[in-house]
Structure 1
């Protein structure tokens, strides 16, 4: 290990510095050699631009050129801003006071190091970048009259480029990296190259950025560790019944259907933030679906398969385990979309076993589905079809990359800086461990979901979507609904979620939580974090803006409000039920074997 600098600020040791730069050159040569070798083994893509980004940007450019005067005005404003920045920078170099021309957005962590403000040079780098980024984003947004889907694609990928070009992502323009390089005699870069080589090896030639210290966690030991038993399983899922912690429980069991895009234990991370453990403490008999990891044997699984083998088979199993015909239910994200589809199907069949339902961040009307809609235009779907055709499923890494791109600075570039430039190890963070625990998507199911929900928006239109022989109508769902959305959710935007308030046929209680797709849901009351909004109007307004105008803000978690709502719909108290006491025998301990299947293994 290289000698660290003395506390008196001595210059780096020239011998150690030279040694480390020699090692950097050697590691770089190996890196380039392995990358070149991988590229030689790769088959050139038949279509080098499968997402048709070229066509999208050409359409945008043609539109801008049709009104050159507006483009020139934007360019002149940009030059004027740069001239002002130059003048301000000159003042700072002369020791004069100079107010920033532009500041990073609130919450932008890229420029948190004090040198970005204190150093005239790095302050100039930062402001120059921010001005250019603003000009680029504003310019592409000026293109009027093009297809809204094309405009969204251009805007999204422009922001990806802008994020990648941040000076914080490069050695010579990041003061924290330069400081670390000087203090460690370049040891950080040696370690960073080792991390980069390890990530390329893990990704079999593709960059698979390690976001978390995976050795710090083990499913079933320190996460997903709430006691329970697997009491039922089929090809698609395992059903977990959790061990009660109260002597009395509500008569109606609580049946939870999580998304299969991620694994269920987001609801059961550490004991102090476990939603499942909290529900047990509140006196509910909790059942959770744990989806299997799709492989080549599951290529024929469809959206209907997830309904039949997931929700419907699970409901039959809950009946056998508890001898109860009636349950309450939760659907989270895509699990909520499936739950709504299933409830509409059950309503058509006269099946009323579910007496109340809660939706976490679940969309059923996709007209304002947010940035994920960028990935559901026809060009992208054809590309995904080609990726899934050979194996019969979409690799989990593709899904992870898609979601990470929605928050590239936090979920991509921050790790590039930490792992490769600073040469640090990732932190042991349970949420990032869960985020890195990827799952695959069966091709037929995933294609059906993207085309019929995101692209065609059929579920929101009565009778337009057929599932297992029934045309679905959400208006036939007459049971009470608790609808959760999060104010900063970038996956299921609250404006999109709110649309469901006028699609279901029964009473809907809408609740808006602070934070995003995960923290807005998983927010234990003891944490005393964030806030939530409620509007006790008997009739939900036509749009969410009107709802929020009349809503009252409450500090902390929304879980207690939801418990008050659900407890009134869960029946009288009965003696607690132990897993295995009913007609279903225990298969294995929770969290079961399905959730432990990891792609990286």
Structure 2
């Protein structure tokens, strides 16, 4: 009653009922979403495209007897899961205790995963079922170690895919964001998803945020040599004098070279130039139908061609070389061939960035070399080359939680803006691979491990033996590398005969290499490079904070510290090799 004696007809709004304005807005969101999906479907139909989502279909690469055995056994696990849910129905509806280890999972950082009884129960149930799935895999009888590893990998991938954080209705953060934005976050996420489906690739960053040669890969230089397989970039010196022995960098052909030239603050190329090195970079061509017959010999011949081109241009007897990842593998083959031919003195030193020659301990990638995967690879490579998006999906699957589902939640469910991160842009800038060479690499090296068998493989008609390599070698490995595992990279120490220096860097395959001194990040370990085993090396190693790059340039100086004036042919385009175009060149921009 009011003080006037009349009934107060003012009603308190119900906070759980949307206002008319909110309902109208949600209706608009639904309409726009329907229009967006219709336009996407029509666009796909007009272009005659099959669904690009097939790029991420795990059934295409886990369809093998080992996986089928795991699938049959998983029925038992799901029965146990049903029993668990039944038992929950008899419990007090309070938030169940969450295991301490689960609390460290950043996927469940939202407070509601602990505070809300419903979400807390979902979280704990998922944790128990995921653990049960992995336990079931490990307890199977019969599979050999390789088959068991495949099943465990598939189980982890499925567990990551099943996470309640990946669904809008079971992720409290997504629900709250949708309510706060009145559905606009979901609409934005849908737009991101449809764009990715059109591209056939999961985006980690805005593809328009960077432009090669404009705000990424900007170190000044000239393309001074070109073949059908690669361009050779010569970078402009920034010091009055330079080391007499130049440096040639061979990046992996499965990625763009500018991982070593992301921006001036991160660029290994720019830093090496500042140290007084005459730096040359190979930029591999992304494969097309014209490269269907390219094989192992062609890439090694290209490395020899680059070495000879720089030697002749600068009138020097030898060069320093760097081989990153798979290019380091072929660089080892190149050195073995040169040694067999009596031409080893063309290379003064070799540095291996996270490279492998012995694939016995090559990690999860070895699961992608069985007969079923190779058959799929042949099917996908029908044009004569493998679309780089398939390789990107494979590498992303090795860290699916971080590189797939994390972005599904952020980009699609939360509708977040893409971060302007150059490293992620590079990661999504895919490169096509020559079909014949890619299959040869997987079969001869990953599957059959022939490179460490003396004279099992030949290069340009010359049988190779890694034990004949006496070139001084600097071998860098990443402590957390999931592409080239530490134990696998260490095997270089066992197969090379010359003086060797081993350095263990903090972090993984990329950040362990791209770690400029100015960043003050991570650390590295040095020790007895004559240690008989990796464990022995680690036991006696000493840690140094920060970048290992200064340690490397000291090692380069120890090989040969002679200097020469930075003039004449040391200036890109001023020698016998005239400039074809400015760095970074055409090849790195071709798709």
Q: Deviations over 1:217-246 (max 9, x none)?
A: 111111100001111110000001100111
For residues 522 and 194 of structure 1, the distance between their equivalents in structure 2, rounded to whole angstroms, comes to 33
Whether 2:290 is the aligned partner of 1:328: answer no
Q: Deviations over 1:326-358 (max 9, x none)?
A: 111100000000100100011100112101110
Match of 1:373, SS?
A: helix
The residue that corresponds to 2:356 in the other structure is 363
Q: Deviations over 1:478-504 (max 9, x none)?
A: 121111110111100001101111110
Q: Tell me if structure 1 keeps the 8 A contact 2:63–2:372.
A: no
Give the aligned length.
Answer: 568
Q: Which moved more, 1:229-238 or 1:184-193?
A: 184-193
Summarize the Cα distance change of 1:343–1:84 in structure 2 as closer, same or farther, 3 Å threshold: farther
Equivalent of 2:280, from 287, 292, 299? 287
Q: Which moved more, 1:356-365 or 1:566-575?
A: 566-575
Whether 2:537 is the aligned partner of 1:539: answer no
Q: Deviations over 1:61-100 (max 9, x none)?
A: 67x69xx9xx79x987x799879988987444xxxxx752
Whether 2:166 is the aligned partner of 1:169: answer yes
Whether 2:117 is the aligned partner of 1:120: answer yes
The residue that corresponds to 1:398 in the other structure is 390
Q: Tell me if structure 1 keeps the 8 A contact 2:444–2:451.
A: yes
Whether 2:540 is the aligned partner of 1:550: answer yes
For residues 539 and 365 of structure 2, the distance between their equivalents in structure 1, rounded to whole angstroms, comes to 27
Match of 1:568, SS?
A: helix
Q: Which moved more, 1:194-203 or 1:171-180?
A: 194-203
Whether 2:212 is the aligned partner of 1:222: answer no
Match of 1:214, SS?
A: coil
Equivalent of 1:100, from 83, 98, 105? 98
Q: Tell me if structure 2 keeps the 8 A contact 1:321–1:581.
A: no
Whether 2:447 is the aligned partner of 1:445: answer no
Match of 1:585, SS?
A: coil
Match of 1:592, SS?
A: coil
Q: Deviations over 1:99-152 (max 9, x none)?
A: 52353385x432222322332322222221111111101211222441222222
Gaps of 5+ in 2: 1-14
The residue that corresponds to 1:17 in the other structure is 26
Summarize the Cα distance change of 1:41–1:588 in structure 2 as closer, same or farther, 3 Å threshold: closer
For residues 523 and 141 of structure 2, the distance between their equivalents in structure 1, rounded to whole angstroms, comes to 38
User: 1:30 offset after TM fit, Å?
Assistant: 5.8
For residues 275 and 353 of structure 1, the distance between their equivalents in structure 2, rounded to whole angstroms, comes to 24
The residue that corresponds to 1:276 in the other structure is 269
Match of 1:478, SS?
A: coil
Summarize the Cα distance change of 1:170–1:80 in structure 2 as closer, same or farther, 3 Å threshold: closer
Q: Tell me if structure 2 keeps the 8 A contact 1:103–1:127.
A: no
TM-score w.r.t. length of structure 2: 0.90
Q: Which moved more, 1:188-197 or 1:499-508?
A: 188-197
Equivalent of 2:550, from 552, 555, 560? 560
Q: Tell me if structure 2 keeps the 8 A contact 1:85–1:101.
A: no
Whether 2:184 is the aligned partner of 1:194: answer no
Whether 2:67 is the aligned partner of 1:53: answer no
Match of 1:358, SS?
A: strand
Gaps of 5+ in 1: 1-7, 93-97
Q: Tell me if structure 2 keeps the 8 A contact 1:149–1:377.
A: no
For residues 41 and 441 of structure 1, the distance between their equivalents in structure 2, rounded to whole angstroms, comes to 21
Q: Tell me if structure 1 keeps the 8 A contact 2:326–2:355.
A: yes
User: 1:296 offset after TM fit, Å?
Assistant: 0.9
For residues 397 and 250 of structure 2, the distance between their equivalents in structure 1, rounded to whole angstroms, comes to 26
Q: Deviations over 1:29-79 (max 9, x none)?
A: 666777799999689x9xx966462522233467x69xx9xx79x987x79
Q: Tell me if structure 1 keeps the 8 A contact 2:300–2:459.
A: no
Equivalences for residues 131-170 of structure 1 within 5 A: 131-170=128-167
Q: Tell me if structure 1 keeps the 8 A contact 2:66–2:143.
A: no
The residue that corresponds to 2:8 in the other structure is none
Whether 2:294 is the aligned partner of 1:301: answer yes
User: 1:443 offset after TM fit, Å?
Assistant: 1.2
Summarize the Cα distance change of 1:350–1:312 in structure 2 as closer, same or farther, 3 Å threshold: same
Equivalent of 2:424, from 415, 418, 432? 432
The residue that corresponds to 1:110 in the other structure is 107
Q: Which moved more, 1:460-469 or 1:11-20?
A: 11-20
Q: Deviations over 1:430-484 (max 9, x none)?
A: 0111111100110121111111100000111212112211211111111211111
Summarize the Cα distance change of 1:581–1:18 in structure 2 as closer, same or farther, 3 Å threshold: closer
The residue that corresponds to 1:526 in the other structure is 518
TM-score w.r.t. length of structure 1: 0.88
Computed over aligned residues only, the root mean square deviation of the Cα atoms, in angstroms, reads: 2.9
Q: Tell me if structure 2 keeps the 8 A contact 1:89–1:124.
A: no
For residues 180 and 61 of structure 1, the distance between their equivalents in structure 2, rounded to whole angstroms, comes to 36
Equivalences for residues 66-77 of structure 1 within 5 A: none
Match of 1:356, SS?
A: strand
The residue that corresponds to 1:237 in the other structure is 230
For residues 17 and 489 of structure 1, the distance between their equivalents in structure 2, rounded to whole angstroms, comes to 46
For residues 119 and 36 of structure 1, the distance between their equivalents in structure 2, rounded to whole angstroms, comes to 44
Q: Deviations over 1:281-314 (max 9, x none)?
A: 1111101100011111111111100111x21110
For residues 284 and 462 of structure 2, the distance between their equivalents in structure 1, rounded to whole angstroms, comes to 25
For residues 259 and 10 of structure 1, the distance between their equivalents in structure 2, rounded to whole angstroms, comes to 57
Q: Deviations over 1:193-212 (max 9, x none)?
A: 22222222333xxxx22221
